[in-house]
């Protein structure tokens, strides 16, 4: 009985996963990048007028219809008319409370922006008096928070002995903001892990897109809450636009093989399975959005401490999901 025949094909290499072409950044990831770029575009004046007039006309028509409806009920039955009138009044009170909460949320976000801008100005001028004013406003910002009590106490002990702007902001970052930075980074890691897992495992169409959008919105909102900028519905949208604008301005929207290769085994997995590759890419994009949110929501710019590395965040968040072994 003859044995197997071995045919040697000269000049040809066996197909291997690590030599296969990389997964192109199309489909879900491209759609997410386009959505981020679109959301970061400034709104034109004509569009603002359109939406403002549309809201005004809609509110006018609805309020007039409600008024006519209540008057009609009052003419038919005093009891029914009073019940309808009471419900309308309660609804208006709820709308007023929601509006006040949204205004308070915008005020908190503006407060963070003012502290951040004052810190940048103090670093640029080197004025110690301005820096001490920024630290005082930062201390006031976190007054009453139990998770910042230890940092505020250490800052009060050490700030008086520092006689330069760099050292003063360094003390504020290492004592007061360091615990908050750690919590914010953990939120970014959790969001990146969730997005990557759902993208790689769930085969449903658009499930990964929905998960990525909701996870990114929730991540941005929680990061703002950690740094003291709790936001409402409209405040969250304004904050998301600011983060995406920062992301586009820094050129960090696109995700390439350099970031995928930084993950243990990520480069090979992206070539073996398209779903795993998209999971790595979407997780990396979520991490980049998270780092942009840190830079936007943090009351002090990164100066004495190092800005979190996107590659390090992705590695820690995806360890065990896309392991080297």
Q: Which residue has the higher pLDDT, 212 or 250?
A: 212
Tell me what pLDDT residue 90 has.
93
Could you identify the residue written with the tokens 């390439």?
256
Question: What pLDDT score does 226 carry?
Answer: 87
pLDDT at residue 27 greater than cutoff 50: no
pLDDT (tens digit, 9 = 90+) per residue, 186-244? 998 888 888 888 877 776 767 767 777 788 888 888 888 888 867 666 666 676 777 76
| CA 188 – CA 54 distance, rounded (Å) | 37
CB neighbour burial string for 24-55, b if at least 16 within 10 angstroms, e if fewer: ebeebbeebbeebeeebeeeeeeeeeeeeeee
Does pLDDT of 323 surpass 90?
no
pLDDT of residue 236: 66
pLDDT above 60: residue 22: no
Higher pLDDT residue, 14 or 219? Answer: 219
**Predicted confidence (pLDDT) at residue 83 exceeds the cutoff of 70:** yes
Q: How far apart are CA 85 and CA 77, in angstroms?
A: 12
**How many residues can be counted in the chain?**
325
Please report the pLDDT score of residue 4 as a whole number: 63
Residue 26 confidence (pLDDT): 45
**Within 13 Å of residue 155, how many CA atoms lie on the same side as its CB?**
26
Q: Tell me, what's the pLDDT at 281?
A: 77
Given a cut of 90, is residue 52 above it in pLDDT?
Answer: no
Look at 189-193, 246-250, 253-257 and tell me which has the smallest mean pLDDT.
253-257
Q: How many CB atoms lie within 10 A of CB 232?
A: 20
Backbone φ and ψ of 77, nearest 5°: -150, 125
Which ranges of the chain does DSSP label H, i.e. alpha helix? 28-40, 45-76, 78-125, 128-141, 149-159, 165-172, 178-201, 207-226, 233-249, 257-261, 266-272, 274-297, 310-318
- What is the model's pLDDT at position 246? 59
Euclidean distance between the first and the last CA atom of the chain, given in angstroms as a whole number: 42
In angstroms, how far is CA 180 from the centroid of its own chain? 15
CA 138 – CA 132 distance, rounded (Å): 10
CA geometry: angle 57, 41, 218, nearest 5 deg: 85
Name 308's Cβ contacts closer than 8 Å, sequence gap at least 6.
Answer: 181, 185, 188, 291, 294
**Percent of the chain surpassing pLDDT 90:** 1
Q: Kindly state the average pLDDT of the residues 164-192.
A: 86
- pLDDT > 60? residue 10: no
More confident residue, 33 or 289: 289
Q: Is 240 exposed, middle or buried (0-12, 13-18, 19+ CB in 10 A)?
A: buried
As given in the structure block, the two tokens for residue 234 are 């409209």
Per-residue pLDDT, averaged over 283-296, amounts to 84
- Cβ within 8 Å of residue 164, ≥6 positions away: 128
State the pLDDT at residue 294: 86
Q: Which region among 3-17, 132-146, 232-246, 286-300 has the lowest average model confidence (pLDDT)?
A: 3-17
Span 292-321, mean pLDDT?
A: 81
Residue 218 CA to residue 114 CA, distance in Å, equals: 24
Please indicate whether residue 206 or residue 73 has the higher confidence score (pLDDT).
Answer: 73
Chain mean pLDDT for the chain: 75
């Amino acid at each position: 009985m003859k044995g197997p025949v071995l045919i040697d094909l000269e000049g040809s290499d066996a197909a291997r996963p690590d030599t296969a072409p990389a997964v192109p950044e199309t489909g879900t990831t491209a759609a997410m990048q386009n959505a981020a770029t679109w959301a970061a575009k400034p709104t034109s004046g004509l569009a603002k007028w359109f939406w403002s007039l549309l809201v005004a006309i809609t509110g006018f028509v609805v309020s007039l219809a409600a008024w006519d409806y209540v008057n009609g009920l009052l003419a038919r039955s005093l009891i029914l008319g009073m019940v309808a009138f009471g419900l309308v009044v309660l609804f208006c009170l709820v709308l007023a409370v929601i509006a006040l909460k949204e205004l308070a949320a915008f005020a908190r976000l503006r407060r963070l922006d003012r502290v951040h801008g004052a810190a940048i100005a103090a670093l640029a001028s080197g004025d110690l008096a301005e820096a001490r004013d920024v630290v005082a406003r930062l201390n006031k910002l976190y007054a009453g928070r139990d998770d910042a009590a230890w940092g505020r106490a250490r800052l009060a002990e050490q700030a008086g002995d520092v006689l330069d702007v760099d050292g003063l902001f360094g003390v504020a970052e290492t004592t007061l903001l360091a615990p908050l930075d750690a919590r914010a980074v953990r939120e970014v890691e959790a969001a990146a892990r969730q997005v990557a897992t759902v993208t790689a495992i769930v085969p449903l169409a658009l499930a990964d897109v929905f998960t990525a959008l909701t996870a990114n919105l929730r991540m941005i909102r929680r990061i703002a809450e950690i740094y003291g900028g709790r936001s409402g519905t409209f405040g969250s949208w304004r904050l998301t636009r600011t983060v995406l604008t920062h992301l586009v301005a820094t050129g960090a929207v696109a995700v390439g093989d350099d970031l995928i290769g930084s993950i243990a085994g990520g480069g090979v997995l992206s070539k073996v399975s398209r779903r795993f590759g998209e999971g790595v890419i979407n997780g990396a994009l979520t991490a980049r959005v998270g780092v942009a949110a840190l830079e936007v929501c943090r009351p002090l710019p990164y100066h004495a401490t190092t800005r979190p590395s996107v590659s390090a965040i992705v590695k820690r968040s995806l360890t065990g999901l896309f392991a080297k072994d």
